[in-house]
Amino acid sequence: MTDVVMEEIRKAQELNVAGDKAGARAALERLWGTTEDPLHRCTIAHYLADQQDSVEDELRWDELALAAFPDLTDERTRAGDDSWRARAFLPSLHLNLADVHRRAGHEKEARQFLGEATAALDELPADDYGAMIRDALSKVREAIEAGSTAPLVPTT
């Protein structure tokens, strides 16, 4: 069975990758108002955070992504991908909050969420996604230790 909302989220992300940040943001914001499904809400907010022009707005969406997490079940997560568990979302959600707090100059909160992300690393799959999150966690840790509030430069 096709999940129409997840398909629309995928299309919005394709807009973003193609360089249409405004179009991606508009599509995701429209979708936000159409669903109460925790998988949809967590995913939409997670992606919308990356589409924001200010650290404050990014923080708000990252917080909304984490707020949707408690209602997310393994059963719901596996409906889209048999290999996923809900808790596999936690390292990325906490990592994003660590990074946005770091960039906002909130060192205490950045360290707190970095600790949460680190504690949840065992939830990650041993694949390219898991490696990407672990690598990003190291970069955020280094930036926090250096006292940097500069955006991280993507390696891809």
pLDDT in tens, 50-101: 999 999 999 999 999 999 999 998 888 887 667 778 899 999 999 999 999 9
Measured CA angle at 32 (ends 91, 19), to 5 deg: 75
Reduced to 3 states (helix: H, G, I; strand: E, B; else coil), residue 90 is helix
Distances, alpha carbon 123 to alpha carbons 11, 64, 141, in Å: 27, 21, 19
Question: Above 80 in pLDDT, residue 121?
Answer: yes
pLDDT at 28: 98
Question: Above 80 in pLDDT, residue 2?
Answer: no
Reduced to 3 states (helix: H, G, I; strand: E, B; else coil), residue 137 is helix
Checking phi first, is residue 125 left (phi over 0); if not, alpha (psi -120 to 50) or beta?
beta
Task: Give the max Cα distance, the chain.
Answer: 48
Domain assignments of the chain as residue spans, ordered by start: 1-72, 77-149
pLDDT at 32: 97
